């Protein structure tokens, strides 16, 4: 993969929602903006990326989400006219080197470190209970 993925980067990605995986689906229905939460090397020596979904649909009661402010929408290359949220209670986990989905798509933007820091702190606290969808066999 040619581009270096880093936290805060916003990518178009065929995000697979947890509810879709529960129904037996294996492919995201459409490319949507997702935020890179973290990149890490696991015990299998592979590099993985954790991706958080962005949505323009008001999150349901009980979901944990942070609204994206106008300045960050602009930085991230998102539609300024729409309200957008980053969901923190579920994520996709994808191996960087084996991903079918991360290969050739350039990022659409980048959230600022000031916006991402508290968001990632909150996500890290939720990680043990967040719904993970692993995008590899």
Mean pLDDT (whole number) for 108-117:
96
pLDDT tens profile 51-95: 999 999 999 999 999 999 999 999 999 999 999 999 999 999 999
Residue-level pLDDT at 89: 97
- State the distance between the two ends of the chain, measured CA to CA, in whole angstroms: 20
Mean pLDDT to the nearest integer, 21-46: 93
Mean of pLDDT over the chain = 92
Q: Which three-class secondary structure state does DSSP give residue 35?
A: strand
Q: All domains of the chain, ordered by start, with CATH?
A: 9-134 (2.30.30.110)
* Angstrom distance (rounded) from CA 46 to CA 19: 27
């Amino acid at each position: 993969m040619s581009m270096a993925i880093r936290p805060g980067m916003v990518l178009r990605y065929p995000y697979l929602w947890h509810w879709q995986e529960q129904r037996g689906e294996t492919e995201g229905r459409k490319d949507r903006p997702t935020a890179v939460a973290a990149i890490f090397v696991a015990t299998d020596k592979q590099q993985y990326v954790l991706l958080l979904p962005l949505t323009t649909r008001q999150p349901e009661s009980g979901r944990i989400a942070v609204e994206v402010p106008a300045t960050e929408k602009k930085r991230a290359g998102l539609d300024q006219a729409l309200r957008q949220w980053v969901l923190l209670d579920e994520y996709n986990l994808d191996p960087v080197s084996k991903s079918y989905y991360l290969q050739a798509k350039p990022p659409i933007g980048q959230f600022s470190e000031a916006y991402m820091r508290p968001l990632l702190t909150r996500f890290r606290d939720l990680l043990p209970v967040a719904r993970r969808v692993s995008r590899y066999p």
